[in-house]
Structure 1
Amino acid sequence: MEPITIEAGKKLINENDPVDSMYVVIAGEIVQQWRGQMLSLGPGTVVGLSDALNHQYEADYTVKETATVIKCNYKTMADFDVIFNEQPVYIFGFAKGAFRQCRDVFKIYDSYKKKVDDFTDYCRGINAEYRKLCRAASMTPVEIPLLEEMEPLELKNEILKWEHDYIDSLNSVDNKEIENIYGKRTEIVNGVIGISCGYMARAIECAETMGFYIEEFSPILLSQDRGDMFELLFNLRIYMAERGIEQDGIIKLMKMLYKYLSTCGIYDKQLIKERWAEYDSHDFAASAAAFDEAKVQKQAEFTQTFEHICEFAEVDEAKQNEYRQQLDDYLALSDREGKEDNERRIRKKAVDLFYDIYRKTFFRALEFEAMGGELDTIILMFLNFGYIDYEAVGEELTYQLADLVERLETLCESDHLFTIYKWLRMVYQADREPSKNELDLDYRGFILEERKSGNIPESEMQTWMNDQEQKVIFEIDNFFKSANRTTSGKMTAFCPVLTKEDFGAEPMRLLLTQTKLMEAMNRIEEVDYGIFLREGYFTDMDTGVKSEAYLKRVEPDIILLPNVGMRAMMWQECGGIKVDSPGRFVFPMFTLDDIDKMMIYCCGAFRWEICRKEQGSRWNDIGSECLTSDFYDYFTFYRKNKDLSAENKEKVKTLLKSSRNNMREAFTKQYTIWINFEAQGSIRLNKAERNILNKHCTFSKAYRAKVSSHPMFEQGISRHEIKQSQALHHLKTIIDKVEKNDGVVPDEVKQGMEYLKM
């Protein structure tokens, strides 16, 4: 083992090379490098020691300062015996080197762990502050998808505290003691080296995992592609400057972000410099002035709102003047919800003119956009909010609504959430079938009735069936008008003309956003996990799978009607003939009411109606053992139910009376109690009601765990879990069978297994 001198800059070992030797450093410095981390190895250390348990080197080793080393052949731990027999003096060096290198690797591990912890805490903290400032400024916060995906990092092989303490204590032991302990006992040294190498391998693996984690989520705060927290705060300050809102809070938060970005050691300094220079040089006063100028220009436009809408809709001048007079008559009423004949007559004319103008504006908008035009703010406010007159709404509310309509796509639209304008477009484009009317007739049924009545000749039937424009007219006349009135809560005195008196607070506070609605829906699904699960059927003839049932989630469509209302409604349980098509819930665009209460009401009604749809004529047949048949039997024969006390029978009687003997209404009230109270272990229902709900609206696993020890739930939960376990086993068997025969199982079917575990 002769000393070897290696010049600075030379690569001693390459990452991924097979482990075949180690090098004792006599003089100079060698750098161990992996994933951007560097560890300095000086005299007394051993190059390659951290890879003693590996087959390949997991780092590059480069000579930083001309080094003198002694090469030791090594492939397995058994080779240490050979090395120590040839050079007993190495025993102490290798032992001490193992402690020291392990300590240094632990320092890198600790540095990464602190960086990750600080990063996740900072991301969540600054996001909370951002949202707080948004609320104060009445601005809807923008979501960063990556932040929503970020979960606390769980390390599988993290270094435990006692392991850390063990290595620290070994490094604190005096050299003579180490020599006395390990001087002649190679088996002890081998063990210590093996333990240290194992620790180092784990620490390096964890450091790499943490590095990947930071790399993945660092764009949350700053990225080349923008859409990051820096941009969100920048835009928030512009928004506040434009509206004359005090900016001290956002300025302070921006400086805090800049300081963190500059000192955390994660971000490119040049990128930080460029983005900060852009922010620091921005003229916020000029933004405010430009906003004010645009506001003045818009004000001139807004004062002619009604005329602008009529001109866009190509309403002729005579009709426009007639409508203007009718609208003025309505707005001049001292009591717009009055019941006098004159008040009713004036209100009806206002209702009729609104929907007539709306229909014309909608079709004109389709035509205008098809030609490449872009709808202006006033038209969008009318189509989405029902805003038709500037004086009726007032200046302040007008500007707030104008601000909202520009952000409406972000706030109130998704794959299953629609404004009425977007919904009618979906119907026109044949992406959704028209809704049923109040007589429970769909468009096809309506056309058939019109044929029977002689209003549509047989020769034109096919044309009417495929006429998308007629479908939209049907949707406006039969769904829009009725649902708009229903969600307003003013069944006899509703007028769709938006006025300032409709609002009891700022529009943004009342707006039903996607976030609010999804949170309300999720709170129900967290309890009643199966509410939107439907049966699908999987077929694979090659493996003999003819028709196997599985569960799939079918989220309902939610349509926002242009009013400030207080009611929500489950309009229909599915969107067409198929049971697995999305149901339809209708909500007011703005509300002061409790969203959770509204959503539970819709979900309860949905539970009832989807069961009726699935069961068909057997919905009240006790032999079908479904939710509606069980409750039908319970409500019909409660007086003869021996399990009910006299007091409980009286409660059922009162329940039915308050529900006007409407069983769906009665069920929905009990369903509300089930979700709000029984799921928390607060007993409010009687045994019969609880057993039915426990059977058909079973709690999710988390909520079952909460009440599983309660004797009133125990038996029902046990039956459910046995049934689910059997279904899960059966579905898994089918999937395994198909995959073993090289068949393809759709992801939706595999997801069905996860639903059975809930």
Structure 2
Amino acid sequence: MGLTEIKKGKILHSKDDVVHTIEIVLKGSVRMYDEFDSLNIGIGGIIGIVEKNGVNYKYDYQANDDVTIYSYEYKNENSVQDAILSNPKIAPVLASQMVQVACNGYVYLKKKYDLATKEYKDLQTNQSNYPGLCALTGEPNRTFLELYNVEKLEKSEIIGSWQADFIISVYKNDEKIRKGFYSIGTEMCCGVIMGTVSIFEKILNEIKYLTEYSNNFAKSTASFKSVYAQVKAKADQLKRDSAVEEENVKIENALDTILEFSNVESGLRINFKKAIETYMKSPNRTDASDEMRMIRRDISKYFYEVYLTAFKTSLTTEILPIELKMFFMFGFVDEKLAGEENTAILYKFAKNYEPDENGRIKTIYEWLKMIYDGEVEPSRNEFDLDYVGFLKEQKAHGEITEAELKEKMNDSEEKLKFEVKNLFTLGSRMTFGRISVFLPIFDSENVQKTLETTYMSKDVVNSLINEIKKIDYSLFYRETVFSDTSKGITQLYVQKEVMPYVILLPNIGSRMSLWQEIEGRRRATPARFLTSIFHTENMFDNLLKTCGEYRWEMCKTVQGAYWNNIKDPSLTSEYCDYLQFYKKNNQLSTEQKEKLKIQLKKYSNNFRNVFVADYMTYMKFEEKGSLRLNKIARAILATYCTFSAETRTRLKENPQYKELITKHDNKIQNQLGLIANLVKKLNNQKDEIPEEVTMQEEFLNL
């Protein structure tokens, strides 16, 4: 017994403990909770006042922060009174805190009761509307036997009672009562506390009943709600399709539609809605304060859980509500948060969306579906481990068994979770650009430019990629070996184009990223580029930068351990040698060396970043004849990132490029000669020309 200090996060009492003490909180606050709900007890609150001596605690008690308490032995009800009467100086504080805790509990109870009442009434309305909606949409009118398990909500004995009016009145008039009533004597404080405890216990019992009722209600209505949401969404879409103009289309209660359709469990639904409501009430949503950071963190946590649940529900749904499409594509959750004008634009984009014909530009929803269906393997995580490598590491650390490893190896849901946790979650933060204020949901506060000008449609992305390929024609080509002994071809090096995946993440951002250059160890697999679906910066420059990074990383992958060994010449090895020994290079002037020194300092001696900057200069300026690189950098880039035939023809008369282009053209002519001889040989043998031979000939003429 006596004064005790408790560290933040420590459990004071658990439900396994037997009640022997009561404690008065002198500093900090304590969370009182069970499997149903929780309440906070602040300074002056009495821990254990609703417990019974000699039996197990009904609640767990945990320190919200560093807490100081004073303990008293708890023998019977008189022990509580003795503790109050022995502290005449703080008795008014104890009374005020007890009333405040009870009031907080009552407010919480009323919110839960109002929500449960509304849900019950909504269910009755929806049941009444359901047959008509089925007739309108042509959907079958199903019978849901589990709805017979839904009981009518019992009337609350506390809400609207004299007890509720009493504690609310005492709470509102706390200052007056402290001066004019509590000051009369400690007995007055004791009477208020003990009377309020009786009311508080009734409140807690009703909260428990409501929580159990809501859980049972959610289970019994889940199937009906999901089907009803789909039928209603289809009916709403029919009405929207008949609207004269898309701008006149109304999206209402989008978040409810998303959560109902997705069949999100009640706890997650409440937490997600509450976090969004709190965020929307903030006067400055882009503030970087700790409070707003915590709110955004909660939204982010719940967002990906909801997204995962909604995604899995969508796999068994024929027609997705437009609200779900907007949610999947843009992170849209609320029409008020997005703004009426933006909502109309998002609706138009989602309604008119068509997948990329080449299958390379993917929304995150389409990408996750490919992961789930096993069309592609999950991406690497932040530690550069692929899915299989991650599982093996878990096994090595004893986190999973060999049997679990084998089971998870081909588990679609586990792969999906891995991709959401890594590429989706981390990639979204990365492409957003402003990590300190990152938010995964669509907010009008983040709209810096018109959505029409920043929307990364398949046509926009493909156009930009083609623009870069017109200059750096071999950018996405990979060297493979072809052989066909039946036709006398033992070894032919063939260049095959492997276009990257460009994954559109649901945010408004300013960055693009190369997530990985190949899948696993297979060199003939596509790279993975990430970008925001609404890109606010110069997309051409960002894509060009990403292509430079891809050039570097792809070369490292192909070269393996020799990527920086000049004895095996390559883009990376020659660039590393050039940057590492530039001071001794006689081909560079003093001025060029000084410029290179400044450049290396700017990029913290990161050779890759220096190369990327030079690559962008090469592609944007050198291609137009505006010479900005030194002789060494130009020669390396011209060798490994050769300009297209059109550009080479234009630059051939430039003294700085003439020799480089002539050297390249001679090399190409030699290779074309070999191909011509091979084709002639095959024709003489009356053999069909393999597609690979034709492909290589076409590549050499680019």
TM-score (norm 2): 0.64
In structure 2, what is the Cα distance between the partners aligned to 1:334 and 1:665? 40
**Would the alpha carbon gap of residues 639 and 293 (structure 1) be closer, same or farther in structure 2, given more than 3 Å must change?**
closer
Residue deviations 1:640-669 (CA, integer Å, cap 9, x gap): 222222221222122222223222111111
Give the aligned partner of residue 658 of structure 1: 602
How many Å apart are 1:427 and its aligned residue? Answer: 1.1
The answer (yes or no) to whether the contact 1:486–1:567 under 8 Å persists in 2 is yes
Deviation at 1:551, TM superposition (A): 1.3
Report if aligned partners of 2:335, 2:343 keep a CA contact under 8 Å in 1. yes
Displacement of 1:507: 2.2
Higher mean alpha-carbon deviation, 500-509 vs 691-700, is at 500-509
How far has the Cα of 1:540 moved from its partner?
A: 1.0
When residues 573 and 743 of structure 1 are mapped into structure 2, their CA distance, relative to the original with a 3 A threshold, is: same
- The CA distance in 2 between the partners of 1:486 and 1:514, in whole Å, is 21
Find the counterpart in structure 2 of residue 401 from structure 1: 346
**Alignment counterpart, residue 450 of structure 1, candidates 382, 394, 406:** 394
Match of 2:298 in 1: 349
Q: 2:246·2:344 contact (CA, 8 Å) conserved in 1?
A: no
The answer to whether residue 700 in structure 2 is matched with residue 756 in structure 1 is yes
CA distance in 2, matches of 1:531, 1:664: 17
Counterpart for residue 483 of structure 2: 539
| Contact 1:540/1:738 (8 A) holds in 2 | no
> What are the Cα deviations for residues 204-233 of structure 1, in whole angstroms up to 9, with x where unaligned?
xxxxxxxxxxxxxxxxxxxxxxxxxxxxxx
CA 292–505 in structure 1, closer or farther in 2 if over 3 Å, else same = farther
CA contact (8 A) 2:555 2:572 kept: yes
Supply the distance in 2 between the matched residues of 1:386 and 1:743 (Cα, whole angstroms): 56
CA distance in 1, matches of 2:348, 2:245: 15
Q: Any unmatched runs of 5+ in structure 1? A: 1-286
Alignment CA distance shift 1:755-1:482 (3 Å): same
What is the alpha-carbon distance in structure 2 between the residues aligned to residue 565 and residue 543 of structure 1? 53
Matched, 1:308 2:257: yes
Whichever residue aligns with residue 408 of structure 1, its letter is Y
Q: Following superposition of structure 1 onto structure 2, how do residues 407-446 of structure 1 map, counting pairs within 5 Å? A: 407-409=352-354, 414-446=358-390
Deviations 1:569-618 (A, max 9, x none): 12111233221211111111012221211111111111111111110110
Whether 2:643 is the aligned partner of 1:699: answer yes
How does 1:706-725 map onto structure 2 within 5 Å? Answer: 706-725=650-669
Higher mean Cα deviation, 348-357 or 583-592?
583-592
> Which amino acid in the other structure matches residue 691 of structure 1?
A
Does the CA contact (< 8 Å) of 2:504 and 2:533 recur in 1? yes
Q: Secondary structure at the match of 1:575?
A: coil
- Counting only pairs closer than 5 Å after superposition, residues 133-148 of structure 1 correspond to structure 2 as none
Residue 678 (structure 1) aligned with residue 622 (structure 2): yes
Partner of 1:80: none
Cα–Cα, structure 1 residues 553 and 503, in superposed 2: closer, same or farther, change >3 Å? same
Q: Which residue of 2 is the match for residue 550 of structure 1?
A: 494
**8 Å Cα contact 1:337-1:494 kept in structure 2:** no
Is the partner of 2:354 in helix, strand or coil?
helix
- Call closer, same or farther: CA 1:450–1:292 in 2, change over 3 Å: same
State whether residues 268 and 302 of structure 2, in contact with CA within 8 Å, keep that contact through their aligned partners in structure 1: no
Instruction: Give runs of aligned pairs for residues 74-113 of structure 1, distance below 5 A.
Output: none
Q: In structure 2, do the counterparts of structure 1 residues 289 and 719 end up closer, same or farther at CA, with 3 Å as the change threshold?
A: closer
Partner residue, 2:528: 584
Deviation readout 1:44-96 (Å, 9 max, x if unpaired): xxxxxxxxxxxxxxxxxxxxxxxxxxxxxxxxxxxxxxxxxxxxxxxxxxxxx
Alignment partner for residue 585 of structure 2, among 634, 641, 646?
A: 641
In the other structure, the counterpart of 1:319 is 268
2:509 aligned to 548, 565, 571, which one? 565
Q: Which position in structure 2 is the counterpart of 1:605?
A: 549
Match 1:488 to one of 408, 432, 437: 432
Q: Is the 8 A contact 1:336 1:347 kept in 2?
A: no
Counterpart amino acid of residue 291 in structure 1 = A
Select which of 506, 525, 530 maps to 2:474: 530
Indicate yes or no: 2:545 matched with 1:596.
no
Matched, 1:390 2:335: yes
State the Cα deviation string for residues 682-711 of structure 1 (Å, max 9, x = none).
Answer: 110011111111111111111111111122
Is 1:362 aligned to residue 311 of structure 2?
yes
- Residue in structure 1 matched with residue 459 of structure 2 by the alignment: 515
Letter in 2 for 1:346: I
Instruction: Name the CA shift for 1:337/1:651 in 2 (closer, same or farther; >3 Å).
Output: farther
Query: How many angstroms apart in 1 are the aligned matches of 2:488 and 2:242?
Result: 70
1:236-247 to 2 correspondences below 5 Å: none
Q: 2:279 corresponds to which letter in structure 1? A: Y
Residue in 2 that maps onto 1:271: none
Q: Is the 8 A contact 1:420 1:560 kept in 2?
A: yes
The AA in structure 2 aligned to 1:315 is V
Please give the alpha-carbon distance, in whole angstroms, between the structure 2 residues aligned to 1:598 and 1:413. 24
**Matched residues in 1 for 2:358 and 2:285: separation?**
35
Cα RMSD, aligned residues only = 2.0
Percent sequence identity is: 34
CA contact (8 A) 1:543 1:737 kept: no
Is 1:688–2:632 an aligned residue pair?
Answer: yes
Cα gap change, 1:338/1:662 in structure 2, threshold over 3 Å: closer, same or farther? farther
Report how far residue 295 of structure 1 moved: 7.5
Structure 1 residue 521, shift from structure 2 partner? 1.3
Q: Deviations over 1:68-127 (max 9, x none)?
A: xxxxxxxxxxxxxxxxxxxxxxxxxxxxxxxxxxxxxxxxxxxxxxxxxxxxxxxxxxxx
Matched AA of 1:381: M
- Amino acid in structure 1 at the alignment position of 2:649: A
In the alignment, the residues of structure 2 paired with residue 744 and residue 456 of structure 1 have an alpha-carbon distance, to the nearest angstrom, of 53
Question: CA separation in 1, counterparts of 2:402 and 2:451?
Answer: 49
User: Which of 263, 283, 291 does residue 243 from structure 2 map onto?
Assistant: 291
Mapped to 1, the partners of 2:665 and 2:613 lie a distance apart of 27
1:736 alignment partner in structure 2: 680
After superposition, the Cα gap between the structure-2 partners of 1:736 and 1:491, relative to the gap in structure 1 and judged at 3 Å, is: farther
Aligned position for 1:380: 325
Q: CA deviation at 1:318?
A: 3.6
* Alpha-carbon contact 2:264-2:310 (below 8 Å) kept: no
SS in 2 for 1:492: helix
